[in-house]
Each structure stands twice: as C-alpha cells, then as structure tokens.
Amino acid sequence: MTASKSSRARNARIGAQASAAKNTAKGGTAVKSGSATGTGATTNARAKPNSSASRTGTATRNGGRDQRSAVTRNGAAERGARTQAAGDAVAQGGGPAPWLQIGTLVLALAGLGVSVYLTVAHFTESALAGCSESGLVNCTKVTTSPQSYVFGIPVAVLGLAFFLFAVAIMSPWAWQTARREIHLLRIASMVVGMGFVLYLIYAELFIIGSICLYCTSVHAITFALFVLTAIAAAAWGVKPGAPWKLRLTRRPAEA
C-alpha cells in the first residue's frame, strides 16, 4: 500500500515536472516570437521613415528637374516670342535707315525740279539761265539737237515723268511698305534710268559734242538714286522682313 502511494507520488511529480518543462518551452517560444515580432516591427519602423525620406528625395529631385525644364521651356518660348515679334515688326514696315529714305526723297524732288525747268524751257524755247552757249558746255545746242527727242518725245518730258515716279517710289511710305512689287519696281526703274542716262551721256560727248549743265545735274541725281537703291537692296533686302540674304526666325518653343 505504501509502495503504491510512493509510486503514484513519483509519477505525479514526474508529470508535474514534465508539464512545467512544456510550459517553459512554450514560454520561451513565445518570448522568441515576441522578440522576433518586436525586431520586425522595429525594422519596419526604421525602414518606413527611410522609405518615406527616399520617396521625398526622389520627388524633390524630380520636382527640381521639372522646374528647371519648365524654366528652360519658358525661356525658350520667351526668346522665340521676342524674335517672332521683332520679325513681325520688321515685316510690317520700317525699311532702310531713315537717312536713306529722306535722302532719296530729297534727291528725287531735286531731280523733279530740274526736269520741270527743262520741260518749261523746251516748250517756251527760252535759254537756260547760267548756261554757256559756246564751247564744250552749250545747253542750247544739246536741248535743240535731234537727240533731245526719243521716239518723238522730248527728253525733258521723259525726265519729268521719271522723276514724278521717283518721288512716289522714294517716299517713306514706299520704302516702308511690305509689298514686294513696290521694291522690285523701284530697283527696275533705277536700272532703266541709269541705262537712259548712259545713252544721253554718250550722245552728248560723241554725237552732239557738247554737254548741258542742267542735263548733267539730272544725270548725277539719277546715278545717286541708283547707288542708294542698290545699297538699300543689299543691306535691307527687296522688302522689309524678306531680304535676299537668309534670315532665320526661331519659332516659340511649346511649353
């Protein structure tokens, strides 16, 4: 009886010890699990701020690049707009330098005045004031020669018509117009005028044998107009905004 009780007591103690060992093992596993969980949470807690900072840095860099790109595009658009505006302003008018516009108009008016006087003297058959009547300078001999007519028309009348046209074509309005044909017509008229002047000079020197001071002044004025017109065409082009030389106009960049 006593041995049986002792046996049961030992078995009970062994069972209690085994149960305690199991509980201890479970507790350790729980602690480890909790530790692992805590470590993971800590890692995640640490990782999240780093990830957020990384995203913030990336967004900042992207924002900086976008801002620089926007500034670059805006700058290009502004430069293009200024260039286009300047090109449009030139295309709408302006023409050569003001001194050239005024100078050609004054020359054309002077030529018109001389032509009017020669025309009046031709039809009234009056002597030209201050002009010699003998020697190399002989205005009467020149103005009454057969060469003073071209196709039955007095040269004085042709000169009058030429300078009437020159006054109109050399006006600031004509210089500043954007119509290409006006500028081409000016160049063509000056070429024709110079050709006619060369013929008259040849006739005076080699056919008539005398020169006329008034005619010579008309020739000099025509030559000056021809030179200034050629300079304007070379420097500013056939018309404002569309010169012979290549002009590049940048278009505004798209934003």
- pLDDT tens for each residue of 127-141: 898 887 778 899 989
Is 211 strand, coil or helix?
Answer: strand
CB 143 within 8 A of CB 118: yes
* Torsion on CA atoms 12, 14, 15, 17, rounded to nearest 10: 120
Residue 239: which residues within 8 A CB-CB, separation 6 or more? 177, 178, 179, 180, 182, 183
CA of residue 172 relative to chain centroid, distance = 23
* Torsion on CA atoms 211, 215, 216, 218, rounded to nearest 10: -170
Q: Quick one: pLDDT at residue 91?
A: 44
Length of the chain as a residue count? 255
More confident residue, 86 or 236: 236
Inform me whether the pLDDT recorded for 243 exceeds 70: no
* Rounded CA separation 29/3 (Å): 39
Residue 219: which residues within 8 A CB-CB, separation 6 or more? 197, 200, 201
Domain boundaries, the chain: 1-92, 96-236
Q: Quick one: pLDDT at residue 60?
A: 55
Specify the amino acid at residue 152: G
Inform me whether the pLDDT recorded for 247 exceeds 60: no
The fraction of the chain above a pLDDT of 90, given in percent, is 44
Domain 96-236 has CATH 1.20.1440.130: yes
What are 76-117's pLDDT values in tens digits? 666 655 545 444 444 444 678 999 999 999 999 999 999 999
CA of residue 57 relative to chain centroid, distance = 42
Threshold 0.85, pTM exceeds: no
From the list 188, 195, 196, 182, the residue with the least C-alpha distance to 240 is 182
The CA-to-CA distance between both ends of the chain, in Å, stands at 105
Least confident piece of the model among 188-197, 218-227, 244-253: 244-253
